[in-house]
């Protein structure tokens, strides 16, 4: 009986890579197809989802009770005073400030509203390469060249930073105390799994990204929600640390939260050896980390080589289907266990599992000396024997 | 020489090729080959295994060339939830829901529903639409006459949103086609607004508010899918098959459920359990509905209620997350299997709840009120058509139905669907439903092609009848009272798989489809080997409150899903 398994490369070296720099909403690409881009090239601008922000000030129902300092059409900066209200013989005083950069588009005295149209948000390329395609609804696709680590899940948006191997082995676990203000702007390899304290430390110290083997699902959902909703004001209130400088330099909304990339899945599994080795080789190099937010692409880490110029002989990593044979190197997937690497020692057209399920499968000898009976559905092919 | 058919199904987790034959009206499986389908997240080609499975099955069948002659190839596809559709209507509860039902019946996954009452502003609707990865749009709204007298109607505003928002096809600069199943009167104006977007005209799904006609819109969606799927680079492997038409799997199975309803004239429910979603089909009072509920939607707190040991709930979130990430991975230990079943029970419960909300009496219908109703404040329409006591058959299909033991499948149906009344449960062991749906009407007997699994008898909410003479069965010519024990599932074997006649005598409030308090007789054909009488209290099962692990273990013991040593291990506190 012929058994088939997928050969889906999770790590690829010297390969052409196309990544979408996704707009959060409909936007305007600022680069042309075919043009060369670098880490800091402005890819485009997009309108925030909350395009119109309302600031409510004191009103009598007929007119403003507060003193309004702006007029329609005026450009305002975030934090700029829009109006003030003095009451109780001047003993009480309230100041109303602009929640974002933008333009005052309407003053509505009857309801005491100042409407501000948000200024467009800037999106930078964050990886070098050539612009392959642009779409005002989706974003800008950049073709680059280098090494790729595909992830299982991710949160946050595309960021860039220098890779730092804080974990020395794939099974190491970091604690919040391992992080300092010096980690600002870096992409940290965190080893086995991350805790809430570690993620909060990364937020405080303005880390660009975190790569881990696994994460618990509850924590991941909390972090995903945070990545989608945390704005700069809330960030300053909840996470800003004195050690992290540049309080006044507001980043774009997609660069407030560090990107989280998880290579193996949910739970507490160590990072795959292949992924860890590739990342370790690249320590100190600038990398691009994408948590997959804004519907960009599947989460991944890209280590650009050659300044993103594609080598002529490079091949794209593609998923292939292979016939399972003796001696093949495989990954064994599980629902409650970590991914295990091993070698096929026997093909079993009718395998009776411990739980009495009768399925085609294989006997796999793992690197730790275990022998596993695995249904073919739980096998991923790595290398032919 | 028997004629054989090749059926290839590119599912979301598995690509299967089957050689099937029709013997005496019955669809039987001759050969089967399968391989994994690449996951949708990878954006790789999803028809990778087609050539391989076709070659293998072709060579196996050619060894037996003397007895079988291949008559044709049928191809169904559901990988990655294709076809994916966005729907649009004027009012969400009226034309919006009708457009959605039409797309679902065509086997589509609906990713967004745009309506004037969806709580978004136009720029948000346009932005959301343009970022969708879909292959077709379905638009409905307005009745056929006298809506354009004032020269304007909300349907034109929806058309303007679609004109700006419809996304491009994933593989070309053309925009996705739109199936227009709205007011005839507005067609001209809608066509002008939509400009160069390809429009496929279909009959109005709500030509009158009191009626819903989905067939024309459904066929238009299927036609658009069949025409476009070969151009999609994700499915370029279809070219290896020559030129057979490709249909959505959900559409083919839906046609089979329609055929089954027409064949028997009895209400039927279908559950398709595949790697990442539960599809629910129903044919009730001549109304056919299909819904899709992703497994990812399950609530871990509710899943935990179905576990036989509280310790198993510790890493439940991670288990569900990994199951959603890799839906093709199967459980390998008893503990994993018990958590796996708990997840699927809850997924079926969610699926049935969503189906109940979709298979409803039409909303927006003008109803003449009686004098007696003067002071009643009730919204007309919207009542669900899916009432468990009125069902006669449940058919279970999909990859999981063929992988799990029959007792495990029964456990999923009993706990997930929470059957009431008397129903026959059937198993589709060889994906016969999809084939039967695409065969010309009358060329196969659908019921004969399914495997009778068990008869389920349950008083459901009718607590007055627990322990009383609620149900009796004629087995081997003699009448026998069926034991309805409070909180227990009781097995009654049927000798020789003979035909069974079950008489149910509900209390005065209960309606088993014949009217409140009326006795009903269920004739079940030969083939069933057992009856399960389910006396578990329904409010407890419905709310999942006060269900203890001990009870879960007891129910598994009644059904024989797990061996005794595993169950007693859980009872002794070994949950890891």
Q: Is residue B331 part of a domain?
A: yes
Instruction: Tell me the chain B residues in contact with residue A219 when contact means C-beta distances shorter than 8 Å.
Output: none
A355 with B321: Cβ contact below 8 A: no
Q: Which of B52, B331, B403 sits opposite A335 (nearest CB)?
A: B331
Q: What pLDDT score does B251 carry?
A: 95
In Å, how far is A332's CA from the nearest CA of chain B?
10
Same domain membership, residue B312 and residue B345: yes
Work out the minimum CA distance from B490 to partner chain A, whole angstroms: 24
For residue B522, CA distances in Å to A224, B304, B308, B474, B509 come to 52, 35, 34, 10, 19
**Lowest mean pLDDT across A239-243, B31-35, B152-156:** A239-243
- Backbone angles phi and psi of B353, in degrees to 5: -65, -40
Classify strands A358-366 and B14-23 as parallel, antiparallel or unpaired. Answer: unpaired
Cα–Cα distance measured from residue B105 to residue B215, given in angstroms and rounded to the nearest whole number? 9
Residue B106 domain-assigned (yes or no): yes
| pLDDT tens profile B396-433 | 999 999 999 999 999 999 999 998 888 999 999 988 99
Closest CA to B426 of B448, B394, B399: B394
Q: Pick from A355, A366, A373 the residue to mutate for testing the B interface (most B CBs within 10 Å).
A: A355
Q: Which residues in chain B (311-340) have CB-CB distances under 8 A to chain A?
A: 315, 317-323, 325-326, 328-337, 339-340
Residue B381 pLDDT class (50, 70, 90 cuts): low
> Could you count the other beta carbons within 10 Å of the beta carbon of residue B283?
25
B170 touches chain A (CB under 8 A): no
B432 and B556 both lie in a single domain: yes
Residue A298 with chain B: CB contacts under 8 Å: 41-43
Q: What is the mean pLDDT of residues A293-317?
A: 82
pLDDT band of A47, cuts 50, 70, 90: confident
Residue B371 lies in a domain: no
Query: Of A200-209, B241-250, B258-267, where does mean pLDDT reach its minimum?
Result: B241-250
The residue out of B79, B102, B124 marking a domain boundary is B79
Query: Residue B71's domain is classified under what CATH number?
Result: 3.30.420.40
Residues B87 and B66 grouped into a single domain = no
Give B566 to chain A, closest Cα distance, Å: 10
pLDDT in tens, A373-382: 999 999 999 8
| B155-184 residue pLDDT tens | 999 999 999 999 998 888 899 999 999 999
Residue of A nearest to B406 (CA): A357
Q: Is the same domain home to B61 and B115?
A: no
Residues of A with Cβ-Cβ distance to B322 under 8 angstroms:
265-267, 334-336
Say whether both B388 and B430 belong to one domain: yes
Question: Per-residue DSSP letters for B252-280?
Answer: HHHHHHHHHHHHH-S-EEEEEE-SSEEEE
CB B354 within 8 A of CB B281: no
In the listed set B79, B108, B138, which residue is the last one of a domain according to the structure? B79
**Residue ranges in chain A assigned as alpha helix (H):** 196-204, 217-229, 232-238, 273-281
The residue of chain B with its CA nearest to that of A215 is: B318
Q: Which of A267, A298, A336 sits opposite B336 (nearest CB)?
A: A336
d(CA A300, CA B74): 38
Contact flag A378-B329 (C-beta cutoff 8 Å): yes
- Tell me which of A311 and B308 has the higher pLDDT: B308
Instruction: Answer whether B403 sits within 8 Å of A318, measured CB to CB.
Output: no
ipTM: 0.88
For position B235, what pLDDT does the model report? Answer: 87
Structure tokens at A291: 């948590």
Exposed / middle / buried, residue B472 (Cβ in 10 Å: 0-12, 13-18, 19+)? middle
Q: Is B368 a member of any domain?
A: no
pLDDT at A100 over 90: no
d(CA A262, CA A301) in angstroms, rounded, equals 10
Residues B423 and B451 in one domain: yes
Question: Hey, is the C-beta of B43 within 8 angstroms of any chain A C-beta?
Answer: yes
Q: Cα separation of B214 and B203, whole Å?
A: 8
| Average pLDDT rounded to a whole number, residues B295-306 | 93
Asked if A159 and A289 count as a contact pair (C-beta separation under 8 A), the reply is yes
Q: Is the Cβ pair B36, A6 closer than 8 Å?
A: yes
The answer to the question of residue B242 being in a domain is no
**A316 or A156: which leads in pLDDT:** A156
Are B345 and B424 found together in one domain?
Answer: yes
Same domain, B219 and B271: no
d(CA B301, CA B18): 39
How far B127 CA lies from chain A's nearest CA (Å)?
6
Residues B144 and B29 grouped into a single domain: no
Cβ–Cβ below 8 Å for B329 and A25: no
Chain B hits for A355, Cβ within 8 Å: 331-334, 336-337
Look at A331 and A242; give whichever has higher pLDDT: A331
User: Is residue B374's pLDDT more than 90?
Assistant: no
Residue carrying the six token digits 């797309």: B103
Contact A298 B43 (CB under 8 A): yes
Q: Is residue B114 part of a domain?
A: yes
Q: What percentage of residues in chain A have a pLDDT greater than 90?
A: 63
Name the more confident of B376 and A21: A21
pLDDT at B378: 47
Contacts of A353 in chain B (CB under 8 A): 332-333
Answer yes or no: is B237 within a domain: no
Average pLDDT, chain B: 87
Q: Is A135 helix (H, G, I), strand (E, B) or coil?
A: strand
- Nearest CB among B124, B322, B403 relative to A357 is that of B403
Question: Is A166's pLDDT higher than 80?
Answer: yes
- Measured in degrees and rounded to the nearest 5, phi and psi for residue A258 equal -60, 140
How far is residue A347 from each of residues A362, A365, A369, measured CA to CA in Å? Answer: 4, 12, 18
Domain extent at residue B385:
253-363+379-571
> How do beta strands A42-46 and B520-524 pair?
unpaired
For residue B60, give the chain A residue with the closest CA: A1
Q: What is the pLDDT of residue B62?
A: 74
Element spanning B558, H or E: helix B549-559
DSSP string for residues in A101-122: SEEEEEEETTTTEEEEEEPPEE
Q: Let me know: does B363 contact B382? Beta carbons within 8 Å.
A: yes
Question: Are A125 and A142 in contact, with CB atoms under 8 Å apart?
Answer: yes
Total residues belonging to chain A: 385
Residues of A in contact with B333 (CB under 8 A): 353-355
Average pLDDT along chain A: 90
pLDDT digits (tens, 9 = 90+) for B496-521: 888 888 888 888 777 777 778 888 88
Unique residue bearing structure tokens 């299927």: B222
- The per-residue pLDDT for A157 is 93
* Residues B103 and B23 placed together within one structural domain of the fold: no
Which pLDDT does position B64 carry in this prediction? 65
Domain containing residue B89: CATH number: 3.40.50.360
Q: Please check whether residue B404 touches A, CB under 8 A.
A: yes
Specify the pairing of strand A153-155 against strand A139-150: unpaired
Which of B127, B325, B329 lies at the smallest CB-CB distance from A153? B325
**CA of B228 to nearest chain A CA: how many angstroms apart?**
22
- The answer to whether B127 faces chain A, any CB pair under 8 Å, is yes
User: Within chain B, what is the greatest distance between any pair of CA atoms?
Assistant: 75
Q: Report the chain B residue with the minimal C-alpha distance to residue A154.
A: B325
How many structural domains is chain B composed of?
Answer: 3
Structure-block tokens of residue B4: 């054989």
Q: Is B51 on the interface with A (CB under 8 A)?
A: no
Same domain, B419 and B500: yes
Q: Establish if B308 belongs to a structural domain.
A: yes
**End-of-domain residue from the set B186, B212, B228:** B228
Of A4, A135, A265, the CB nearest to B36: A4
**Average of pLDDT values for B289-316?**
92
Measure the CA–CA gap between B105 and B220, rounded to whole angstroms. Answer: 11
pLDDT digits (tens, 9 = 90+) for B49-73: 787 787 888 777 777 656 667 777 8
Per-residue pLDDT tens digits for B68-123 = 677 778 899 998 788 999 999 999 989 999 999 999 999 999 999 999 999 888 88
Going from the N-terminus, what domains does chain A have, and what CATH number goes with each? 6-46+122-308 (3.50.30.10), 52-118 (2.40.50.100), 324-383 (2.30.30.140)
Q: Tell me, what's the pLDDT at B573?
A: 78
B93 lies in the same domain as B41? no
Max mean pLDDT range (A304-318, A326-340, B476-490) = A326-340
Report the chain A residue with the minimal C-alpha distance to residue B315: A267
Q: How far apart are CA B519 and CA B507, in angstroms?
A: 9
Q: What is the pLDDT of residue B208?
A: 86
Give the pLDDT confidence score for residue B377 in this predicted structure: 46
Query: Quick one: closest CA in B to A374, which residue?
Result: B332
Contact state of B326 with A374 under an 8 Å Cβ cutoff: no
């Amino acid at each position: 009986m012929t058994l088939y398994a997928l050969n889906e490369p999770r790590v690829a070296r010297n390969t052409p890579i196309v990544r979408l720099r996704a707009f959060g909403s409909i936007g305007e690409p600022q680069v042309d197809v075919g043009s060369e881009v670098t880490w800091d090239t402005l890819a485009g601008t997009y309108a925030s989802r909350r395009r119109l922000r309302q600031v409510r000030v004191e009103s009598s129902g007929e007119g403003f009770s507060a003193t309004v300092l702006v007029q329609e059409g005026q450009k305002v900066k975030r934090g700029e005073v829009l109006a003030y209200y003095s009451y109780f013989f001047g003993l009480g005083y309230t100041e109303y400030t602009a929640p974002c950069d933008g333009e005052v588009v309407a003053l509505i005295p009857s309801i005491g509203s100042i409407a501000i149209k948000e200024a467009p948000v800037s999106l930078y390329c964050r990886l070098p390469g050539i612009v392959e395609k642009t779409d005002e609804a989706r974003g800008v696709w950049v073709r680059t060249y280098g090494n790729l680590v595909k992830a299982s899940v991710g949160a946050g948006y595309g960021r860039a930073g220098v890779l730092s191997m804080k974990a020395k082995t794939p099974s190491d676990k970091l604690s919040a105390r391992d992080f300092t203000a010096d980690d600002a702007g870096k992409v940290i390899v965190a080893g086995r799994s991350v805790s809430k304290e570690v993620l909060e430390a990364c937020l405080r110290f303005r880390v660009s990204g975190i790569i881990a083997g696994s994460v618990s699902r509850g924590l991941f959902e909390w972090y995903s929600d945070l990545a989608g909703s945390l704005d700069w004001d809330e960030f300053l209130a909840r996470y800003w640390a004195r050690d992290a400088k540049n309080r006044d330099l507001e980043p774009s909304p997609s660069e407030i939260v560090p990107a989280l990339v998880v290579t193996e899945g949910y739970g507490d599994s160590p990072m795959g050896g292949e992924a860890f080795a590739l990342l370790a080789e690249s320590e100190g190099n600038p990398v691009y980390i994408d948590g997959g937010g804004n519907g960009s692409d599947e989460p991944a880490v890209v280590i650009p080589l050659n300044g993103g110029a594609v080598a002529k002989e490079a091949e794209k990593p593609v998923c292939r289907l292979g016939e399972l044979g003796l001696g093949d190197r495989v990954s064994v997937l599980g629902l409650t266990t970590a991914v295990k690497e091993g070698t096929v020692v026997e093909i079993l057209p009718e395998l009776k599992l411990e739980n009495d399920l009768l399925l085609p499968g294989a006997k796999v000898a793992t690197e730790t000396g275990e022998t596993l009976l695995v249904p073919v559905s739980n096998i991923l092919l790595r290398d032919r024997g | 020489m028997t004629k054989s058919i090749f059926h290839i199904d590119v599912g979301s987790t598995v690509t299967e090729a089957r050689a099937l034959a029709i013997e005496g009206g019955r669809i039987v499986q001759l050969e089967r080959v399968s391989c994994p389908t690449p996951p949708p997240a990878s954006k790789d080609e999803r028809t990778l295994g087609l050539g391989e499975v076709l070659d293998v099955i072709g060579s196996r069948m050619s060894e037996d060339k003397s007895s079988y002659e291949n008559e044709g190839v049928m191809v169904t596809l559901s990988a990655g939830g294709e076809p994916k559709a966005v729907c649009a209507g004027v009012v969400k509860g009226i034309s919006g829901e009708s457009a959605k039902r039409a797309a679902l019946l065509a086997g589509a996954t609906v990713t967004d529903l745009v309506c004037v009452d969806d709580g978004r502003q136009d720029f948000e609707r346009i932005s959301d639409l343009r970022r969708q990865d879909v292959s077709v749009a379905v638009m409905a709204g307005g009745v056929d006459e006298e809506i354009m007298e004032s020269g304007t109607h909300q349907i034109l505003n929806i058309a303007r949103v679609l004109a700006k928002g419809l996304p491009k096809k994933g593989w070309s600069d053309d925009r996705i086609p739109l199936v227009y199943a709205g007011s005839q009167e507005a067609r001209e104006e809608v066509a002008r607004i939509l400009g160069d977007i390809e429009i496929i005209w279909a009959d109005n799904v709500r030509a009158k508010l009191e009626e819903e006609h989905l067939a024309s819109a459904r066929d238009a969606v299927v036609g658009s899918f069949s025409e476009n799927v070969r151009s999609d680079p994700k499915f370029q492997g279809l070219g290896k098959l020559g030129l057979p038409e490709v249909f959505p799997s959900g559409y083919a199975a839906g046609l089979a459920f329609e055929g089954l309803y027409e064949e028997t004239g009895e209400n039927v429910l279908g559950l398709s359990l595949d790697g990442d979603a539960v599809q629910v089909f129903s044919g009730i009072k001549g109304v056919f509905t299909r819904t899709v509920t992703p497994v990812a939607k399950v609530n871990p707190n509710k899943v935990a209620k179905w576990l036989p040991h509280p310790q198993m709930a510790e890493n439940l979130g991670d288990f569900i997350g990994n199951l959603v990430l890799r839906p093709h991975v199967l459980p390998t230990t008893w503990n994993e299997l018990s958590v796996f079943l708990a997840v699927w029970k809850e997924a079926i419960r969610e699926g049935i709840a969503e189906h109940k909300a979709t298979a409803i009496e039409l909303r927006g219908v003008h109803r003449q009120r009686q004098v007696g109703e003067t002071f009643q404040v009730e919204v007309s329409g919207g009542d669900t058509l899916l009432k468990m006591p009125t069902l006669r058959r449940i058919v279970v299909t999909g990859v999981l139905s063929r992988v799990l033991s029959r007792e495990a499948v029964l456990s999923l149906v009993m706990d997930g669907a929470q059957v009431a009344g008397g129903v026959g449960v059937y198993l589709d062991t060889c994906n016969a439903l999809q084939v039967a749906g695409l065969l010309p009407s009358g060329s196969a007997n659908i019921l004969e092609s399914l495997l009778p699994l068990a008869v389920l008898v349950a008083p459901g909410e009718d607590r007055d009848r627990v322990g009383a003479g609620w149900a009796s069965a004629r087995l081997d010519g003699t009448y026998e009272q069926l034991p309805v024990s409070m909180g227990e599932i009781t097995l009654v074997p049927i000798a020789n798989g003979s035909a069974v006649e079950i008489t149910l005598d509900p209390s005065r409030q209960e309606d088993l489809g014949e009217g409140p308090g009326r006795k009903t007789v269920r004739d079940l054909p030969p083939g069933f080997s057992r009856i399960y009488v389910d006396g578990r209290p329904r409010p407890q099962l419905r709310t999942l409150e006060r269900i203890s692990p001990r009870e879960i273990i007891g129910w598994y013991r009644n059904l024989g899903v797990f061996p005794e040593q595993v169950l007693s291990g859980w009872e002794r506190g070994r949950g890891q």
